[in-house]
Structure 1
Amino acid sequence: MKDWKTFVNDLASKMGFEDYRADIDAEHGHGALYLHDNPTLVKENLAPIVESINHILQLVARKENEKPLFLDINNYRKERESLIVELARATARKVVATKEEIPLPAMNSYERRLAHMELAAHPEVMTESVGKGKNRYVVVRPVGAVAPHNENDDNDDTGEDNDNGATAAMTETPPETNDL
């Protein structure tokens, strides 16, 4: 894509937004879009807006054989990353204190990767992604703990939606956790 800024501006306009600002750094593959139209509507729907726009950008980049552009909208991604990193740290502290595994809420592959990376160097915990599709989540365990065997585990993780943590194909959803 020769001009990501024009593309993002056109996309925002076609989505019905009139009051917005796009700051794009295509060379480094990231940008920011600030939507000022109807703040309540934007805030309530920010997660799907971010996901949808970034999905479109990835498809266009793939079609054009270009470096993908990741767009943060109204600082959603930045705030979400901070929240996930803090959740991973707090969970690790609790796992160390209780010596029991704790599941994090279901997350997309990027968010799971953030949790795995944050805890990778932690000497007292290990992480594992379990579940399938949108129900995939990270389990934080004390080092040396054995993962419970699940009869539904078919060990058929095709690598789809894969991340840097250990994986196990399981069909259950995470136990009740506090939402992010």
Structure 2
Amino acid sequence: MPAETENAVEETIHPDVETGASRLEEEGDIAADYLEELLDIADIDGDIDIEVRNGRTYISIVSDEEIEALKGLVGHDGEVLDALQELTRLSVLSATGNRSRLVLDISGYRDRRNAELAQIAKDAAEAIKGGTTSVALAPMGAYERKIVHDAIAELGLESESEGEGSGRHIVVTAAQ
């Protein structure tokens, strides 16, 4: 029989949080409870950190000992992580009746991927500034496309999503 695991939960609420802070705190608590149950079922040790910032709840699962197990929860290109995030959002919806925009991260994957996406945006911008009329990026999910669209806009260029389903991708062009 597997040993009982205890998952630590740490909450950080910033003073500049808007009036919906209590709703976001409740959302974080529900999400943390759901994720703790999943970790217990999978017999994975992990600490769950909850942070509310910019009107959104951020949940992180970290562990010093279960690195390989947590990699499995991220999956190839973050596919399992995205699915867990959606399941966690559904858990919050079921408990509160409110849709959630919470972001789930496991072992810093999202931070590393965000840095990669920023570099992809910079590379596309360099190609456009070098004379290429448009750059089509590899397909990516909605969350990652949003990050790239924002990075492209900050670089003074335009971007548009094209394609359908798993082939949906971004095309970058010079600003009109």
**What's the TM-score, normalizing by structure 1?**
0.68
**Shift of residue 58, structure 1, vs aligned partner:** 1.5
2:47 maps to what in 1? 21
| Equivalent in 33, 45, 50 of residue 75 of structure 2 | 45
Q: CA RMSD for the aligned pairs? A: 2.4
Task: Output the amino acid matched with 1:135.
Answer: G
Q: Report the 3-state secondary structure (helix = DSSP H, G, I; strand = E; otherwise coil) of the residue aligned with 1:18.
A: coil
Structure 1 CA distance, aligned partners of 2:174 and 2:34? 47
Tell me if structure 1 keeps the 8 A contact 2:30–2:92: no
1:5-64, Cα deviation, whole Å (9 max, x unpaired): 2222112222x1422111123684111002543617826826233112101012122222
Equivalent in the alignment of 1:173: none
Amino acid at match of 2:88: L
Which consecutive residues of structure 2, in runs of 5 or more, have no partner in the other structure? 1-26
Quickly say closer, same or farther: Cα 1:62–1:49, change in 2 above 3 A: same
1:58 matched to 2:85? The reply is no
CA contact (8 A) 1:4 1:24 kept: no
In 2: Cα distance, 1:68 partner to 1:120 partner: 22
How many matched pairs? 142
CA pair 79-130 structure 1, distance change in 2 beyond 3 A = same
The C-alpha deviation readout for 1:140-177, integer Å capped at 9, x for no partner, is: 11234xxxxxxxxxxxxxxxxxxxxxxxxxxxxxxxxx
Distance 1:74 1:22 in 2: 10
Percent same amino acid at aligned positions? 20
Partner in structure 2 of residue 158 of structure 1: none
| Stretches of 4+ aligned residues off by more than 6 angstroms | none
State the secondary structure of the residue aligned to 2:38.
helix
Cα distance change on mapping 1:23 and 1:40 into 2, 3 Å: closer
Q: Which amino acid aligns with 1:22?
A: I
Does the CA-based 8 Å contact 1:91-1:102 persist in structure 2?
Answer: yes
TM-score by length of 2: 0.69
CA distance, structure 1, for counterparts of residue 140 and residue 147 of structure 2: 10
1:33 aligns with 2:65: no
Q: Secondary structure at the match of 1:30?
A: strand
- How do 1:47-86 residues align onto structure 2 when only pairs under 5 Å count? 47-63=78-94, 64-66=96-98, 67-86=100-119
Return the letter of the residue paired with 2:102.
L
Residue 130 (structure 1) aligned with residue 162 (structure 2): yes
Pair 128,22 (structure 1): closer, same or farther in 2 beyond 3 Å: same
Counterparts of 1:101-180 in structure 2 under 5 Å? 101-123=134-156, 125-144=157-176
